[in-house]
Each structure stands twice: as C-alpha cells, then as structure tokens.
Amino acid sequence: MEYIRNVAKIEINSDKCTGCGLCINVCPHGVISMDDKVAFLANKDRCIECGACDNNCPVDAIEVETGVGCAYAIIKSWFNSSKTNCC
C-alpha cells in the first residue's frame, strides 16, 4: 500500500555515495536502487521516513526527516508546540 504522494523528505547526495548498497539492504520498502554504483531514490513515494538508510549510511550521504506519522501527536503539537512524536 502507498500513502500520500510527493511528500517524502529524503535526499541522497550522489557525490558522497560510495555505492556500498547498505541503504538498499536496510530499506523496508524498496525505495532505493543502484545505478552505476550510485544509490538513487527509485520509489520515493514509498518512503516512510523511518531513517534506517540514513542511520546505516557509512558516509552520511542520505538526509531524511524522520518521525512517526501519528495524526494525534501532530494535532497536539498545534496547540502546545510539542514535538510531533507519537502518543
């Protein structure tokens, strides 16, 4: 199943990428693929912003804004400027 399109906040810096493939191994949704030894976002809309790729990249080539998509926490944060961490 896929969620809202064109919103995932994830970038791969191809200049930094060494093509080790770790991000591909850890991504639970098959978002990343390899092209000519450089990782790229093949299915960006499937990204759930879990941050596993970012955490495992040895050269810090991936930037992703992580968090749990909890609507209740988001609504709560509107009123008390708390973080949008889940319940």
Partner 1 sequence: MQSFQNGFPQALKNGLLNTIPYAIAIIIGTILVPMLLPILPFRAFSMKGLVLGVIWSVVVIKYSNVFYYDNNIVLNISNSLLLTSIISFLALNFTGSTTFTSLSGVKKETLIAVPVIATSALVGVVLMIIGNFL
47 binds partner 1 (CB under 8 A): yes
Mapped onto helix, strand or coil, the DSSP state of residue 22 is helix
22 CB-near residues (< 8 Å, 6+ apart): 53, 56, 57, 58
15 binds ligand SF4 (CB under 6 A): no
42 binds partner 1 (CB under 8 A): no
Binding mask 41-70 for ligand SF4 (x = CB under 6 A): ------xxxxxxx--xx-x-xx-x------
Q: How many CA atoms lie within 13 A of 74 on its CB side?
A: 5
- CB nearer to partner 1: give 58 or 71: 71
